[in-house]
Chains A and B, each alone.
Chain A
Amino acid sequence: AQSVTQPDIHITVSEGASLELRCNYSYGATPYLFWYVQSPGQGLQLLLKYFSGDTLVQGIKGFEAEFKRSQSSFNLRKPSVHWSDAAEYFCAVGPLFSGGYNKLIFGAGTRLAVHP
């Protein structure tokens, strides 16, 4: 069955430090992979996506992620974290064709706190 695992529920880093958020997936074919960010009380904003091609993808706000098929992972990275990056981060995989619809499966999320 398809699934997404974000092993870290909560991560705290110092401002200026590097960041890596982990995401592992289980999927029967080549997946579409996404990272979304959610600020408190807000909807989700797409940070980056992987559909095919170069396995290192660049996103907005200085984030990047690397698709590693052998490890079934799609970890999110940022070289230097800013205080404004504090938010909830969701990894998602798709498409899940169910009932004729193209759905996404979301991980449980990782809450990032940034210390000044």
Chain B
Amino acid sequence: GAVVSQHPSWVICKSGTSVKIECRSLDFQATTMFWYRQFPKQSLMLMATSNEGSKATYEQGVEKDKFLINHASLTLSTLTVTSAHPEDSSFYICSAHTALHLTVAKNIQYFGAGTRLSVL
């Protein structure tokens, strides 16, 4: 159990276009989802956190109008990079956390496989 699916795994887009990344919890209900950004050979940088049905909370320095997060259901969160530019090229990873599931351990973040975004 506790599988998180992230799609797409790799996307290439032109500068100025928008890209949507999906994060799904496949076998549990994720009360909270996290979005991270990872630069090459660096650690994860938390971008934002969201609960289902609520507005996301963004970390300091992250532009909320640039990185739109929607957490419409307990199994799906999306990150939309609007008007992407080459400096937005990065590896984006989501994780999911549950406070509900009986068999999926709480207080653990389960990670997707990540999405590599390349903006030309």
Judge whether A51 and B107 touch: CB under 8 Å.
yes
Mask: chain A, 31-44; 1 = CB below 8 Å from B; 0 = not: 01010100001111
Distance between A52 CB and nearest chain B CB, rounded to angstroms? 11
Judge whether A94 and B107 touch: CB under 8 Å.
yes
A44 partner, pick from B57, B105, B111, beta carbons under 8 A: B111
Describe B's contact surface by its main secondary structure.
strand
Size category of the binding interface on chain B? 20 to 34
Q: A32-B107, A49-B108 are in contact. Are A103 and B113 (CB under 8 A)?
A: no
Mask: chain B, 8-25; 1 = CB below 8 Å from A; 0 = not: 000000000000000000
Judge whether B111 and A43 touch: CB under 8 Å.
yes
Judge whether B43 and A107 touch: CB under 8 Å.
yes
Give the total number of A-B pairs whose CB atoms are below 8 A apart. 52
Which residues of the partner chain A approach B49 to less than 8 Å between Cβ atoms? 99, 101, 103
Distance between A90 CB and nearest chain B CB, rounded to angstroms? 7
- Rounded to whole angstroms, the CA-CA distance of A103 and B48 in the bound complex is 10
- Rounded to whole angstroms, the CA-CA distance of A49 and B43 in the bound complex is 19
Q: A106-B43, A108-B42, A111-B41 are in contact. Are A43 and B107 (CB under 8 A)?
A: no
Chain A residues within 8 Å of B, Cβ to Cβ: 32, 34, 36, 41-46, 49, 51, 90, 94-95, 99-104, 106-109, 111
21 residue pairs bridging A and B, Cβ less than 8 Å apart: A41-B91, A41-B114, A41-B116, A42-B114, A43-B4, A43-B112, A43-B114, A44-B44, A44-B95, A44-B111, A51-B107, A90-B43, A99-B49, A100-B57, A101-B57, A106-B44, A107-B43, A108-B42, A108-B43, A109-B43, A111-B41
